[in-house]
């Protein structure tokens, strides 16, 4: 077995690079037993009405404000109602943005599928949303049913990115690249938020059932509500990294790891990307971590994993293509000190339930990670395009399905290119979608971080990834 990763690990990543492989597997959540036949249809005026509500900006601190799981009944209901407050507005606004695309673009079968997914999800949430003035989720039974709706939402939107990529690729004659980038930037950022809110509640739900004890061992007699919760504890989705609902997960609040150690994430993602290189190019690039590898901070591991995987794919591909793979890619971890002069330093407590104090004292407020490769840098002609969705200089047509033909790199690829098929064929590719940099930046910026690329053309590239942890958010 030439590779260090298990088949499970590989499958997990192939399905979604955002998948976590660091922590114990979480019971997947799948129930979705409720029928949708009895749901009222979604009318245009519903969409308009929901979209008009103010959209609260999501902060990392919002996601931990109900404290450590297992949550008590009140905190769990609060978390559910908070999710309900935030998600439908986001869905309705995305529906409007999709409708505002040129008609011929929305008519594309892939874009239409995404549109239908949004309609469906809003329709399932609308009955809850309508009741929210009176308190929509007031009992544990309701909370279980609502969590089920959220789990279905997460599953419905699971495969969005390759579908959208395919849709825009097929529609590229009818919409300017800059408009695609604007739409996708907004759309994918909104998707990050919606998923986070839903996944956070589902994770809190799973780690709080039954209250105070974590999930009971199977075979134990349960009340109907508990039985439902357990039945429910069966895929949020395979790109959902949730804390295992056991004591091993003591550093987790839902999907946030309050003691996330970037060095560990980097090693594991680098190992995975090196596997891809070994498969594809027959060489295994090296890497070295320096700086302060013991740094920890509070962050969403699946976001860090997504970003680091994409940045390392770029760095490893560059060193292999530049025949410099014997020079290690050097990853430097620099913590941003917490406390000190930061105005935000008081935010180490949760905003509700004052007894839930986050142990962030030893944590960095944020982290900067520099990835330095000797891959030859980025040509000045290419540099202005690297943040555009679907821009790529990768052109390995061996990887493409039959029927596609070389299009000369960049966005000019053949109509025969089937992104959805290639993203589902079980193999993670080193590059080619052109979404790595812009989407990584969207993830980093979501909580106030960023990504900067410095190219020393003819030599190599430095990528600076800056992330702000929860401790730095007021
Ligand atoms: P993809 O990797 O699918 O091409 P990305 O958005 O990740 O899409 O990157 C876009 C382009 O930026 C790449 O095709 C490559 O030309 C360039 N690039 C990104 N990172 C590096 C790097 N470390 N060294 C050289 N070129 C890079
Ligand atoms: Mg890439």
| Residuewise pLDDT in 10s, the chain (474 residues) | 333 333 322 222 333 333 443 443 345 566 666 667 788 889 999 999 999 999 888 888 888 888 888 899 999 999 999 999 999 999 999 999 999 999 999 999 999 999 999 999 999 999 999 998 778 899 999 999 999 999 999 999 998 999 999 999 999 999 999 999 999 999 999 999 999 999 999 999 999 876 434 433 333 444 444 444 444 443 333 333 333 344 454 789 999 999 999 999 999 999 999 999 999 999 999 999 999 999 999 999 999 999 999 999 999 999 999 999 999 999 999 999 876 444 443 333 333 444 444 555 578 889 999 999 999 999 999 999 999 998 999 986 544 433 333 333 333 344 566 777 666 544 478 988 899 999 999 999 999 999 999 999 999 999 999 999 886 433
Query: How many Å is the Cα radius of gyration of the chain?
Result: 22
Q: Which of 465, 461, 463, 464 is nearest to 318 (CA)?
A: 461
pLDDT score for 368: 98
b (16+ CB within 10 A) / e for 336-346: bebeeebeebe
Out of 437, 441, 455, give the residue to mutate to test ligand 1, the one with the largest number of ligand atoms within 8 Å of its CB. Answer: 437
CA of 316 to the centre of ligand 1 (A): 10
Out of 323, 386, 412, give the residue to mutate to test ligand 1, the one with the largest number of ligand atoms within 8 Å of its CB. Answer: 386
Q: Are 254 and 207 in contact (CB under 8 A)?
A: yes
CA of 182 to the centre of ligand 2 (A): 19
Distance CA 258, CA 254 (A): 10
CA of 386 to the centre of ligand 2 (A): 9
pLDDT score for 61: 85
| Nearby residues of 414 by Cβ (< 8 Å), 6 or more positions away | 400, 403, 404, 405, 406, 407
pLDDT score for 35: 67
C-alpha angle 298/21/369, rounded to 5°? 45
pLDDT score for 297: 94
Question: Which residue has a Cα nearest atom 26 of ligand 1?
Answer: 378
Distances (CA, A) of 316 to 245, 256, 319, 384, 466: 35, 28, 5, 21, 20
**pTM (2 d.p.):** 0.82
CA of 386 to the centre of ligand 1 (A): 7
CA of 107 to the centre of ligand 1 (A): 31
CA of 299 to the centre of ligand 1 (A): 25
Pocket of ligand 1, beta carbon within 6 A: 310, 314-315, 318, 373, 375, 378, 382, 386, 391-394, 431-434, 436-437, 461
| Nearby residues of 332 by Cβ (< 8 Å), 6 or more positions away | 289, 290, 291, 369, 370, 372
Ligand 2 ion: nearby residues, β-carbon < 5 Å: 313-314, 431, 436
pLDDT score for 32: 60
Question: Which residue has a Cα nearest atom 4 of ligand 1?
Answer: 392
């Amino acid at each position: 077995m030439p590779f260090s990763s298990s088949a499970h690990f590989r499958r997990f990543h192939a399905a979604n690079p955002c998948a976590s492989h660091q922590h114990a597997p979480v019971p997947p959540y799948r129930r979705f037993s409720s029928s949708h036949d009895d749901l009222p249809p979604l009318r245009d005026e519903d969409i308009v009405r929901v979209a008009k509500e103010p959209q609260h900006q999501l902060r990392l601190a919002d996601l931990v404000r109900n404290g450590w799981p297992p949550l008590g009944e009140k905190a769990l209901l609060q978390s559910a109602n908070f999710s309900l407050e935030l998600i439908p507005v986001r869905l309705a606004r995305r529906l409007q943005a999709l409708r505002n695309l040129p008609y011929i673009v929305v008519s594309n079968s892939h874009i239409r599928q995404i549109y239908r997914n949004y309609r469906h999800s809003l329709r399932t949430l609308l009955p809850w949303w309508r009741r929210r003035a009176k308190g929509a989720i007031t009992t544990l039974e309701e909370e279980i049913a609502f969590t089920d709706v959220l789990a279905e939402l997460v599953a419905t939107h699971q495969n969005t990115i390759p579908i959208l990529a395919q849709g825009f690729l097929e529609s590229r004659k009818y919409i300017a690249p800059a408009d695609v980038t604007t739409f996708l930037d907004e759309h994918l950022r909104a998707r990050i938020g919606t998923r986070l809110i839903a996944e956070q509640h589902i994770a809190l739900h799973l780690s709080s059932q039954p209250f105070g004890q974590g999930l009971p061992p199977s075979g134990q007699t349960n009340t109907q509500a508990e039985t439902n919760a357990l039945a429910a504890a069966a895929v949020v989705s395979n790109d959902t990294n949730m804390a295992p609902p056991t004591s091993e997960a003591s550093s987790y609040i839902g999907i946030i790891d309050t003691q996330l150690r970037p060095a560990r994430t980097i090693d594991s993602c680098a190992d995975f990307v090196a596997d891809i290189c070994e498969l594809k190019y027959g060489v295994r690039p090296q890497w070295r971590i320096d700086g302060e590898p013991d740094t920890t901070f509070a962050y969403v591991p699946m976001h860090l994993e997504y970003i680091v995987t994409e940045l390392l794919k770029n760095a490893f591909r560059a060193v292999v293509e530049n025949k410099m793979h014997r020079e290690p890619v050097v990853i430097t971890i620099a913590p941003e000190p917490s406390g000190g002069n930061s105005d935000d330093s008081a935010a180490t407590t949760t905003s509700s339930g004052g007894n839930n104090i986050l142990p962030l004292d030893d944590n960095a407020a944020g982290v900067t990670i520099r990835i330095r490769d000797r891959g030859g840098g980025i040509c000045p002609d290419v540099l202005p395009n690297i943040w555009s969705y679907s821009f790529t200089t990768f052109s390995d047509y061996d990887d493409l399905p039959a029927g596609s033909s070389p299009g000369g790199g960049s966005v000019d690829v053949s109509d025969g290119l089937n992104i959805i098929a290639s993203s589902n064929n079980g193999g993670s590719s080193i590059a080619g979608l052109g979404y790595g940099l812009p989407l990584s930046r969207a993830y980093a910026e979501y909580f106030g971080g960023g990504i900067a690329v410095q190219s020393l053309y003819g030599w190599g590239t430095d990528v600076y990834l800056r992330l702000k942890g929860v401790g730095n958010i007021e």
